[in-house]
């Protein structure tokens, strides 16, 4: 029976490397046309930019991951353009180019990655508003900027990185608006210094942007995007409460990352609320093993740790798989990985504290702001559903609120609005956000054709 | 809003039909890039709140669906453009 790795990013690549080294030939599934994941996404054939242009300071790491993967290709069963849409005991349901499949599996390593964590804002569904991660993909994988005058807003390391990458590529940047006050970041400076190069790079991006005359505002509130059929302008209040307005035709927005953990959910892995990340994360032990037999987790899909730790976690989970299969485990390699993972997690926690999720921005969302972009449901509609049902059966958690309001029932299954919807609901019910729970995953994890060509 | 090409602009051209009108793109473009590089939207929301142009570009949000003649509904952000493709965005609501 096979070992299946879902996700060919940094975690999946390192997992495959360890397995192949031990003589196991894993099946590696990825929905994308090629390996690399989102962070080290490869550009399509025919594009010619070098690694340095595409990945900047991370060029050597990206190149290493690509080289390892290319070397592994003959020794793995790589299935790109394949969506794993359900994970049942011993079976992964897939669809690839319209063809349905089911892979019997003994051990699965889920390296499913992350996506941007979003807070709906007035005007965020207008054409021209994209996630920070999406804006980076436009540049990296398509050689495009999302607009002619781009504003960056949100918080987190990606905010400054993508703005920097856009500026370097010659795009015009209107401003960079960070919801985190300077003092919050400064309070973590000492702990962040342990991150060494990573911290230094972050400071470099910010300094570079400032040196090139790009407006950076910290501690901003009251963000709103306006326009008629497309983004036309952006307004905000600065840390002193003064209102600003600026013309822009595109906005990149994101508030950190959240795990894409739907398959772990379907497999039955329990989740915990991580107060530092402010995310629900699937529970695993330090070697990546879960309480569900044969299910292992690695990388950002099991809690946001960043690409470097994803590599270590991928390798670590692969060793755990080898142990489960009764194969020899290199204790020294495992000890090295454990040390890397332990050291890295302290830095990561400091980074999360330096760029906290601005929960009140979500909780205080105006009633007329569209919360669920799939079905254009407003925050007010969710609050009304919460209040209406409060008298009889309290919608004490998000899944019940979903049934009442349809928030989270759309085609994205709450990937986009789920985190903010939980804040709105928790504020309505005056309880901590972890008390309202998280949206349960449903198969298929993404829309698939109703009539896949089963026989084809 | 239009996507602005800032690199890799010397790729070979491909021709496709966008809502019945001829349009050009580059080999390696996704449908999303091919469309948004020349016109500012991909679809109209079924719920009457206006036009949409995708959001996440990584296959998660499902807000970039367009119709390909003979191919049905696809995600524009993960579907490569092909020469001669006939793409429809549906009719924007007034």
pLDDT of residue A455: 42
For residue B94, count other CB atoms closer than 10 A to its CB. Answer: 3
Domains with residue ranges and CATH for chain B: 14-88 (3.10.20.440)
Task: Give start and end residues of each alpha helix (H) in A44-188.
Answer: 51-55, 59-72, 132-142, 157-168, 182-186
- Tell which residue, A181, A179, A175, A359, has the closest CA to residue A251: A175
Note whether B56 contacts A416, CB cutoff 8 Å: yes
Note whether B55 contacts A230, CB cutoff 8 Å: no
Per-residue pLDDT, averaged over A383-388, amounts to 86
Please report which confidence band the pLDDT of residue A197 belongs to, taking 50, 70 and 90 as the band edges. confident
- In angstroms, what separates the C-alpha of A142 from chain B's closest C-alpha? 6
Q: Residue A34, Cα to own-chain centre: how many angstroms?
A: 18
Chain B residues within an 8 Å CB radius of A135: 57
- In angstroms, what separates the C-alpha of A351 from chain B's closest C-alpha? 23
Within 221-280 of A, beta carbons closer than 8 Å to B belong to: 229-231, 249-250, 260
Q: What is the pLDDT of residues A251-268, one digit of tens each?
A: 999 999 999 999 999 999
Within 58-87 of B, beta carbons closer than 8 Å to A belong to: 58-63, 72, 77-78, 80
Please report which confidence band the pLDDT of residue A215 belongs to, taking 50, 70 and 90 as the band edges. very high
Those residues whose C-beta lies under 8 Å from the C-beta of residue A213, and which sit 6 or more positions away, are none
pLDDT of residue A294: 98
- Tell whether the model's pLDDT for residue B6 goes beyond 70: yes
- Give the three-class secondary structure for A130: strand
Q: Are A209 and A203 in contact (CB under 8 A)?
A: no
Which of A112, A138, A413, A441 to mutate: most B Cβ within 10 Å?
A138
Note whether B52 contacts A49, CB cutoff 8 Å: no
Please report which confidence band the pLDDT of residue A169 belongs to, taking 50, 70 and 90 as the band edges. very high
Radius of gyration of chain A (CA): 22
Instruction: State how far the Cα of A86 lies from the Cα of A452, in Å rounded to an integer.
Output: 15
Note whether A128 contacts B49, CB cutoff 8 Å: no
Question: What would be the CATH architecture of the domain defined by A118-255?
Answer: 3-Layer(bba) Sandwich (3.50)
Those residues whose C-beta lies under 8 Å from the C-beta of residue A431, and which sit 6 or more positions away, are none
pLDDT of residue B90: 77
Q: What is the pLDDT of residues B46-86, one digit of tens each?
A: 999 999 999 999 999 999 999 999 888 999 999 999 999 99
ipTM of the complex: 0.97
Q: Say if A411 is an interface residue toward chain B (CB within 8 Å).
A: yes
Chain A residues within an 8 Å CB radius of B4: 144-148, 171
Domain residue ranges of chain A, discontinuous segments joined by +: 2-115+258-352, 118-255, 359-436
Instruction: State how far the Cα of A49 lies from the Cα of B28, in Å rounded to an integer.
Output: 13
Task: Tell me phi and psi for residue A220, to 5 degrees.
Answer: -75, 155
Note whether A143 contacts B8, CB cutoff 8 Å: yes
Please report which confidence band the pLDDT of residue B1 belongs to, taking 50, 70 and 90 as the band edges. confident
Note whether B28 contacts A137, CB cutoff 8 Å: no
Per-residue pLDDT, averaged over A167-176, amounts to 96
Per-residue pLDDT, averaged over A321-342, amounts to 97
Please report which confidence band the pLDDT of residue A347 belongs to, taking 50, 70 and 90 as the band edges. confident
Please report which confidence band the pLDDT of residue A246 belongs to, taking 50, 70 and 90 as the band edges. very high
pLDDT of residue A189: 86
Instruction: State how far the Cα of A347 lies from the Cα of A203, in Å rounded to an integer.
Output: 15
Per-residue pLDDT, averaged over A317-328, amounts to 98
Within 98-127 of A, beta carbons closer than 8 Å to B belong to: 115-116, 125-127
Note whether A147 contacts B5, CB cutoff 8 Å: no
Q: Say if A45 is an interface residue toward chain B (CB within 8 Å).
A: yes
pLDDT of residue B19: 95
Q: What is the pLDDT of residues A130-154, one digit of tens each?
A: 999 999 999 999 999 999 999 999 9
Note whether B61 contacts A412, CB cutoff 8 Å: yes
- Tell whether the model's pLDDT for residue A393 goes beyond 80: no
State which residue of chain B sits closest to A147, comparing Cα positions.
B3
- Tell whether the model's pLDDT for residue A69 goes beyond 50: yes
Note whether A260 contacts B60, CB cutoff 8 Å: yes
Q: Say if B90 is an interface residue toward chain A (CB within 8 Å).
A: no
Please report which confidence band the pLDDT of residue A392 belongs to, taking 50, 70 and 90 as the band edges. low
Per-residue pLDDT, averaged over A111-140, amounts to 98
Q: Tell me the average pLDDT of chain A.
A: 94
Instruction: State how far the Cα of A223 lies from the Cα of A179, in Å rounded to an integer.
Output: 9
The yes-or-no answer to whether A2-115+258-352 and A118-255 have a common fold is: yes
Per-residue pLDDT, averaged over A160-179, amounts to 97
Note whether A115 contacts B60, CB cutoff 8 Å: yes
pLDDT of residue B93: 46
Q: How far apart are the first and last CA of chain B?
A: 19
How many beta-carbon pairs below 8 A join chains A and B? 145
Per-residue pLDDT, averaged over A398-405, amounts to 88
Chain B residues within an 8 Å CB radius of A139: 6-7
Q: What is the pLDDT of residues B29-50, one digit of tens each?
A: 999 999 999 999 999 999 999 9
State which residue of chain B sits closest to A370, comparing Cα positions.
B49
Q: Say if A325 is an interface residue toward chain B (CB within 8 Å).
A: no
Q: Say if A46 is an interface residue toward chain B (CB within 8 Å).
A: yes
Q: Residue B84, Cα to own-chain centre: how many angstroms?
A: 14
CATH topology of domain A2-115+258-352: FAD/NAD(P)-binding domain (3.50.50)
């Amino acid at each position: 029976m096979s070992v299946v790795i879902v996700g060919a990013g940094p975690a999946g690549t390192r997992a495959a490397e360890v397995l192949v080294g031990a003589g196991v030939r894993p099946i590696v599934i990825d929905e994308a046309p090629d390996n690399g994941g989102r962070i080290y996404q490869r550009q399509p054939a025919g594009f010619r930019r070098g690694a340095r242009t595409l990945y900047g300071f991370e060029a050597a790491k990206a190149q290493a991951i690509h080289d390892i993967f290319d070397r592994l290709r003959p020794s793995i069963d790589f299935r790109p353009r394949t969506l794993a849409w359900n994970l049942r005991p011993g079976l992964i349901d897939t669809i690839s180019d319209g063809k349905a499949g089911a892979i019997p599996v003994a051990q699965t390593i889920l390296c499913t990655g992350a996506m941007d964590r979003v807070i709906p804002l007035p005007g965020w569904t207008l054409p021209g508003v994209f996630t920070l991660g999406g804006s980076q993909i436009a540049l990296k994988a398509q050689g495009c900027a999302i607009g002619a005058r781009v504003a960056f807003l949100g918080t987190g390391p990606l905010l400054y990185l993508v703005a920097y990458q856009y500026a370097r590529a010659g795009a015009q940047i209107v401003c960079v608006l960070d919801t985190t006050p300077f003092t919050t970041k400064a309070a973590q400076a000492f702990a962040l210094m342990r991150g060494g190069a990573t911290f230094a790079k972050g400071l470099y991006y910010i300094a570079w942007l400032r040196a090139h005359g790009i407006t950076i505002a910290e501690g901003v509130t009251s963000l709103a995007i306006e326009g008629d059929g497309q983004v036309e302008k952006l307004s905000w209040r600065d840390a002193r409460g003064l209102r600003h307005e600026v013309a822009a035709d595109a906005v990149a927005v994101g508030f950190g990352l959240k795990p894409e953990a739907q398959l772990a959910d379907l497999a039955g892995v329990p989740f915990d609320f991580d107060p530092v990340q402010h995310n629900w994360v699937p529970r695993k032990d330090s070697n990546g093993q879960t309480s569900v037999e044969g299910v292992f987790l690695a990388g950002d899909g099991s809690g946001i740790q960043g690409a470097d730790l994803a590599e270590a976690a991928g390798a670590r989970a692969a060793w755990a798989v080898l142990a489960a299969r009764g194969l020899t485990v290199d204790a020294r390699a495992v000890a090295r990985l454990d040390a890397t993972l332990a050291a890295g997690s302290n830095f990561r926690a400091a980074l999360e504290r330096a760029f906290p999720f601005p929960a009140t921005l979500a909780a205080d969302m105006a009633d007329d702001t569209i919360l669920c972009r799939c079905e254009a449901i407003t925050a007010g509609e969710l609050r009304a559903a919460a209040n209406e049902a409060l008298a009889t059966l309290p919608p004490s958690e998000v899944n019940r609120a979903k049934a009442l309001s349809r928030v989270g029932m759309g085609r994205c299954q709450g990937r986009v609005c789920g985190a903010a919807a939980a804040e709105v609901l928790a504020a309505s019910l005056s309880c901590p956000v972890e008390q309202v729970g998280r949206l349960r995953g449903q198969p298929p994890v993404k829309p698939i054709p109703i009539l896949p060509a089963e026989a084809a | 809003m239009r996507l602005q090409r800032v690199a890799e602009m010397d790729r070979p051209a491909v021709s496709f039909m966008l809502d019945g009108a001829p349009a050009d793109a580059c080999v390696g473009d996704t449908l999303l890039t091919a469309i948004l590089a020349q016109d500012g939207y991909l679809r109209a929301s079924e719920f009457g709140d206006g036009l949409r142009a995708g959001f996440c570009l990584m296959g998660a949000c499902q807000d970039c669906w367009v119709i390909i003649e003979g191919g049905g509904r696809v995600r524009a952000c993960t579907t490569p453009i092909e020469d001669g493709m006939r793409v429809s965005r549906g009719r924007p609501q007034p």
